[in-house]
Copies of this chain bind each other. A is one copy, B any other.
């Protein structure tokens, strides 16, 4: 059964365009610092373990992990071992090079810190039980677990048209519960974790309702013009889902206590830059780069019958049309994303 590939773009492409994800998670760094300050530390001499779930190629992860390392280093001289997790198809060479020698490399900044990568979906156990002292996951757990394809819709994200109780919403609830339960198992008693996801507010607004409109239209045009078959189109799927407050808070209980839940309207850094510069071309390029970096693998990777060359050609056309549409109507893709950060702790 074909499943959707939710790996991010490799070769540095994701990192070059993931400023939106980084800035929309920045509000949660104080929570991560608190997690590192409050986590129970191992009493034996073994290393303190940090785990970063959904690291992609790492540019965003290193900044966050450095915050946790600083807070831990202030408490203990013990070695710190950082695990960066993503799916097996992730570009781990770029990830490990970013960690080892990128401009933000925490390995160069800190002594006694070690890093490694795990290639496995975070909807499975990825580390031994009771192993993790401090966990972090940013802009990752709103990606659904692999969904059977073809699924018939391009985008799972809640939109005004998506009613409560749909099967995708149910899957998102199940996935979130599973994600939290797995991390609970992996946390050490006394451990702390922070998860940042996009969310919808009490009115069901995620802030990026129209972020994918031009993309949907461009893909539809390929079908209308006969360059993409209806069957191929049915297999193309962006499995994003943004849960409301109540769903996000539901998996917590006495064994895993929700200690804080901060919710913000993130500023859209691309839009802010556009407001300052008025440069429509730069905005269209930036927005399309961001969009392509997180959607090209899942959308065009699904075209299993096509050569890589054909997939790239189709993608070039689609994202080219998106860029052109953004140039004409930049206001449509202004995205003040609703973001949620949850800090939770495993009981001793």
Which residues in A have some Cβ–Cβ distance to B below 8 Å? 10, 44-47, 79, 81, 83, 88-93, 95-97, 99-101, 107, 112, 114-120, 125-131
Contact = CB atoms under 8 A, between A and B. Distances in A.
Nearest to A79: B128
A117 B267 CA distance: 36
B93 A89 contact: yes
A96 B114 contact: no
A114 B90 contact: no
A128 B116 CA distance: 12
Nearest to A131: B47
18 contacts: A46-B130, A46-B131, A79-B131, A88-B93, A88-B100, A89-B93, A89-B97, A90-B96, A91-B93, A93-B93, A93-B119, A100-B119, A100-B120, A114-B118, A114-B125, A116-B119, A117-B117, A117-B118
Contacts of A100: 88, 119-120
Contacts of A46: 46, 128, 130-131
Given A119-B96, A120-B100, A114 B127 contact: yes
Nearest to A127: B114
B96 A117 contact: yes
Most buried by B among A44, A81, A101: A81
A252 to B, nearest CB: 25
A79 B129 contact: yes
Nearest to A188: B46
B116 A117 contact: yes
A120 B129 CA distance: 26
Contacts of A91: 93
Nearest to A10: B93
Contact of A99 (B99, B119, B128, B130): B119
A81 B120 CA distance: 14
Nearest to A118: B116
A154 B81 CA distance: 38
B114 A45 contact: no
A295 B69 CA distance: 38
